[in-house]
Amino acid sequence: MKKTLPLLICALLCIGNFKAQELRIDADIRPRAEYLRGFGNLVPAGVDAAIFVQQRSRLKFGYTADKFAAYVSVQDVSVWGDTPQIAVADDNNSFSLAQAWIDFKFGKGWSTKIGRQALSYDDQRILGGLDWAMQGRFHDAALLKYKNESGLKLDVGFSFNQNGLSRINTLFDPNNGGNARAVFDYKGMAYAWLHKDWEKFSGSLLFVNNSYQNLDSTDGQTPIDGTVNRQTFGTHLVAKPAKGLKIALNLYGQTGKFTETVDLSAYNAALEVTYKPGKTLFGLGGEILSGDDNGGSDGEIKSFFPIFGTNHKFNGYMDYFFVGNHANSVGLVDLYAKAVLKTGKSNSLLAKLHYFSADQDIAGTDDKYLGTELDLVFTQKILPYATLKIGYSQMFAGDSMEVLKGVANPSGLQNWGWAMLVVKPNFLKWSPKPTE
């Protein structure tokens, strides 16, 4: 057994030409302790806070050669204590395959990437890896990619999902017989991303089509003819007109069918300006995600949903909006200011203040103001491969937030604190010496 691993490594490295080959084995281990008293939703008065420690333990294998690359990542995501000390057959099965893909290069600038992979583009508003969530977000997809030396990049991707093997029909029910119109899980996806870099400007165009299978409403399992298709499209633009100054703009739309009888027509617009004259970064920004005041009862939904983005990054770290919630609702207007202070050679402090209001009227109140959130995050680099992060957030909710969230008697203190250690050591990095 002692000779097995070295022989396997040698076999992988001996495939093809020795030129420009590399084998890497890395880890991503991150325990995170959290104190929650109003995270994600208002907590009623008299309810005790939640406290837990969650941990990601991820092992990553990467191999690269001249015209080929492969990557495999396995992980265990669990809460401390939820797995028995002595394993039993009915444990929580927290072990999973995070990513597994192969990449072939052909022609000049062309490649194809096939398998389970993270899709992350631009600022991750529409397509992101969701690294904050311990499990991450991954797609089973096939990509055709192109890039050249002038800064032009093109990705075209396809995905087709199925509930296991079947000799008849093709079925994908993301909710096991429930509502088959789930936003996060789709029957099929096709997208194209075009990006270009210039000296002081960059721009991207994105088009995504997602299809959701029509299932018989009587049993939720029998596929019927046709699918519902929804399109998300738009642009992400970044300008750097002067030293330390950065302007970022997002403009996105959504169209198609929400259900067979309800149309979808929504938009998202965001603008952020940051300035870094020295070691401190200052920023102002705003975002509008269109909403609907009647839930589509008039035959059209106007609520925008950032389909597969890293939504924790936006609209406050307490995740009151668009993180498994606030879909098909009254939308959101988010105005914010932020500062990142470099407090030392290896640490920094982020302070961010959000002002939230609804885009459309909220039933039961004339006030659109939802609340104000304060986010603080301290980051300390301990070692080249280890970082400590400590965060605190507090929501100052308005009366309309109580109506929107359906909490009649919320606690006077809605807050969330956390501490996370991120350790990413490299266990092996090996390139064979070229033969004479």
Assign 3-class secondary structure to 120-173. CCCCCCCECCCCCCCCCCCEEEEEEEEECCCCEEEEEEEEECCCCCCCCCCCCC
In a domain, 343, yes or no: yes
- CA 72 to CA 76: how far, in whole Å? 14
Predicted local confidence at residue 218, as pLDDT: 65
CA atoms of 263 and 284, how far apart (whole Å):
34
High-pLDDT (> 90) share of the chain, %? 77
Of residues 18 and 82, which shows the higher confidence score? 82
pLDDT of residue 213: 84
pLDDT at 163: 83
pLDDT of residue 305: 96
Q: Provide the pLDDT for residue 384.
A: 95
In a domain, 4, yes or no: no
What average pLDDT is seen over the chain? Answer: 90
Amino acid occupying residue 369: Y
Say if residue 236's pLDDT is above 90.
Answer: yes
Structure letter (DSSP) for residue 364: T
Report how far residue 375's alpha carbon sits from residue 318's, in angstroms, rounded to the nearest whole number: 8
9 pLDDT higher than 70: no
Residues of the chain with pLDDT > 70, as a percent, come to: 88
- The predicted structure's pLDDT at residue 62: 97
Show the tokens assigned to 364. Answer: 């039961």
348-366 confidence digits (pLDDT tens): 999 999 999 999 999 989 9
The three-class DSSP label of residue 377 is: strand
Neighbouring residues of 329: CB distance < 8 A, sequence distance ≥ 6? 291, 292, 303, 404
Q: Tokens 């633009």, residue?
A: 237
The answer to whether position 10 is within a domain reads no
What are 132-150's pLDDT values in tens digits? 999 999 999 999 999 999 9
CA distance 400 to 375: 21
pLDDT at 395: 98
Q: Is residue 385 part of a domain?
A: yes
Residue 417, domain member (yes or no) = yes
User: What is the pLDDT, as a whole number, of residue 185?
Assistant: 82
Distance of CA 389 to the CA centre of its chain: 19
pLDDT at 253 over 70: yes
| Residue 6, in any domain of the structure | no
Answer whether residue 295 shows pLDDT above 50. yes
Which pLDDT score is estimated for 111?
97
User: Can you give the pLDDT at residue 173?
Assistant: 74
DSSP conformation letters of 209-249: EEEEEEE-TTTS-SEEEEEEEEEEEEEEEEEEEETTEEEEE
Q: Which residues of 203-237 are buried (b: 16+ CB within 10 A; e: fewer)?
A: bbebebbbbbbbbeeeeeeebeeebbbbbbbbebb
pLDDT value, residue 172: 81
Answer whether 356's CB lies under 8 Å from 371's CB: yes
Q: Which residue has the tokens 């992350």?
A: 120
- Start-to-end CA span in the chain (Å): 31
pLDDT in tens, 147-188: 999 999 999 999 999 888 878 777 787 665 444 344 568 999
List the CATH number of the domain containing 318.
Answer: 2.40.160.100
**Per-residue pLDDT at 432:** 80
What tokens does 253 get? 């739309």
11: confidence class by pLDDT, cuts 50, 70, 90: very low
Rounded CA separation 138/100 (Å): 10
pLDDT higher than threshold 60 for residue 7: no
- Mean pLDDT value across residues 312-338: 96
Residue 84 lies in a domain: yes
Residue 126 vs residue 343, higher pLDDT: 126
- Residue 393's nearest CA partner among 411, 416, 422 is 416
Number of domains in the chain: 1
Task: Outline where DSSP puts E strands in 45-138.
Answer: 50-64, 68-79, 95-106, 110-117
pLDDT for the residue 296: 86
92 φ/ψ sector (left φ>0, alpha ψ -120 to 50, else beta): alpha
| pLDDT score of 79 | 96
Residue 409 domain flag: yes
Longest Cα–Cα distance of the chain, Å, equals 79
**Residue 289 near residue 309 (C-beta atoms within 8 A):** no
**Residue 49 confidence (pLDDT):** 95
Q: Provide the pLDDT for residue 94.
A: 83
**Residues 77-110: pLDDT tens digits?**
999 998 888 766 565 678 899 999 999 999 899 9
Q: What is the extent of the structural domain holding 419?
A: 21-430
The more confident residue out of 222 and 51 is 51
**Which has the closest alpha carbon to 97: 60, 129, 132?**
60
pLDDT digits (tens, 9 = 90+) for 269-287: 999 999 999 999 999 999 9
- For residues 289 and 358, what is the distance between their CA atoms, to the nearest angstrom? 9
Structure tokens at 206: 């994105």
Q: Measure Cα distances from 111 to 114, 115, 122, 249 in Å.
A: 10, 14, 20, 29
The more confident residue out of 304 and 227 is: 304
